[in-house]
Chain A
Amino acid sequence: MNNLINSYFVKTHKLEISITIIALVLFLIYFLGAPHVFTRFPIYRAFMQSMPFFGIIAISATFVVTLGEIDLSFPSIVGITSLIFGIIMTSTDGNFFIAFILATSLGMFAGLVNGLLVTKIGIPSIVATIGTLFFWRGLVNVISQGSGIAIVDVADGTWHHMIFVEKLFGKIPMQFIWFIALTGLMQWVYRYHKFGNHIHFVGDNKASAQMMGINVDNVKIIAFVQLGFFSALAGIFTMYEMLYFWPTQGEGLMLTTLAAVFVGGTSVFGGKGTIFGTFIGVLIIGSLESGIVALGLSGFYVKFINGLMITVAVTVYALIQRRKN
């Protein structure tokens, strides 16, 4: 047992192990408290259906948070890219490729704007992205004039609808498969790609990273651009699931998404983080609402417990961090 605790893997994965234990305990509570719900498949299908929409963004946002930056504008990027996707789909009679390319390009452009504001103009990311949060949402309102767009006629029953959101073997929602695959890919990039490596160094110490020959500005810009891309992708997934665009689409994603990143153990101070942790964070945050209700508590507790989880988690991580120094 002692050997296990002192092993190399355990030492280097403390954070991942703690977060996994927290998630297991939480699910055990659900399981014991509401066995009639949690011993049956539908609740898990519901989780697999709903978690990927913010999960994909959370995975991608982990890169930005590891930089020591933040992006608050992604809910509106989801909005504007979904709107464009809806408009192109309906006006081209369901041309998926054009709609997909334009929507994701717009997402990357929005990310580029954030990146340039932060690096070249020098606005702190929290301020810059509040600006773009309002800007893109405002543009959604202006273009849509407050009305929704139905894509059911051009999307339902198509092959793209099938690969995005239909159920594999009639049970497992496709978006969850994508979510798992993207998590794996991004974990790999985060730990083993040059870009992920540079993300860690820039987040750790910008000045040192620069002196070691890392192009700090480019690393930041690319991080915001990829978040723009994945926000667009999350928007497209939502469009296929709902088959409808509504002008507030994406609102309400902000807190759950960032909460998943922070609960997952990525350092608010930058330089350290884990994609796996964010994935577990998504499972925790994404299951709280149904879990709490299934346990028989009133829905009023949801925000309260959510807040408690986040506050306790970031406090614990900050303390771990301080002890190390």
Chain B
Amino acid sequence: MADELLKLENIYKNFGNVKVLKDVNIKINKGEVVALIGDNGAGKSTLIKVITGVHTPNSGKVFFKQEEVQIKSVAQSRKMGIEAVYQERALCDQQELYRNIFAGREITNSFGFLDIKKQRKEAEKILRDYIGFTSKAITVDSQVMGLSGGEKQGVAFGRSLYFNSDLIVLDEPTMGLSIQETEKVLNFVKGLKNENKSAIFIDHNIIHVYGAADRFIILDRGEVVGEFNKEDISREELVQKMIQLHESGKIKVED
């Protein structure tokens, strides 16, 4: 397939004796939004951390833009064009915004000293153009501590847009947000498709997931137990599947 962006093949990940991911196979196409759903402990977070390079899998293959890759670090996955937006954990509270936006990929001279001026200028641009912050209370010199959940999420999104990534990984992007803020986040996810960018996101709330995603992948105890395209399943059916999974431990797949 020409428009395949990311493919995981037979991924296994253990933490000591605990098998967190067992033979996981997933694929994400260009311009597609995929939702990962499943209970706590299903392995969702571990899976996306494999994609972003926080964890390396024990075995299995990863293909990005149809080339086999080994993602060994966050820096590497970012370079390839994968950008993670983690809920609040994406930012460090006591540090200034302009430092947070460039953490881990600072703009420096050849001796490693930061170009503070440039970082502040670019951060300013991100706040204004990508996030649309107009509040005078928030400047590039603000500490993250004073921001609301939605504002933090906005900064994390703005950062991912600025660095022009192909695949955006969203870990519970709506957790702890107000209704309006949730709406903004979901619109953001939908907007990605227009730019032919892809996204994979985790969310507990199937109602959010249903509106924003093209495809749903259900994980249970480290395995993919179901995969549905939006056109093949209604929201009610998806909810039913999840309840069923919760009660019986398996999903009936009728095809």
Contact = CB atoms under 8 A, between A and B. Distances in A.
Interface of A: 8, 12, 188, 192-195, 197-198, 200-201, 204-205, 207-215, 271-272, 324-325
Nearest to B74: A213
Contacts of A200: 92, 94-95, 99
A325 B73 CA distance: 32
B145 A197 contact: no
Given A12-B141, A210-B74, A211-B74, A194 B114 contact: yes
Interface core residue of A12, A197, A214 (most chain B CB under 10 Å): A197
A211 B75 CA distance: 9
A192 B89 contact: no
B123 interface: no
Contacts of A211: 52, 54, 74, 84, 86, 89-90
Given A194-B114, A324-B145, A207 B103 contact: no
B235 to A, nearest CB: 31
Nearest to B105: A213
A212 B90 contact: yes
Contacts of B108: 194
Contacts of B93: 204-205, 271
B94 A208 contact: no
Interface of A is mostly: helix
Interface of B: 52, 54, 73-75, 78, 84, 86, 89-95, 99-100, 103-106, 108, 111-114, 116, 141, 145
Contacts of A214: 103-104
Contacts of A324: 145
Contacts of B91: 208
A201 B145 contact: no
A272 B141 CA distance: 15
Contacts of B92: 200-201, 204-205, 208-209, 212, 271
B252 to A, nearest CB: 37
Given A204-B93, A210-B74, A214-B104, A197 B99 contact: yes
Given A193-B114, A209-B92, A213-B74, 16 more contacts: A193-B112, A194-B108, A194-B112, A198-B103, A201-B99, A204-B92, A208-B92, A210-B54, A211-B74, A211-B84, A211-B89, A212-B100, A213-B78, A213-B104, A215-B73, A325-B145
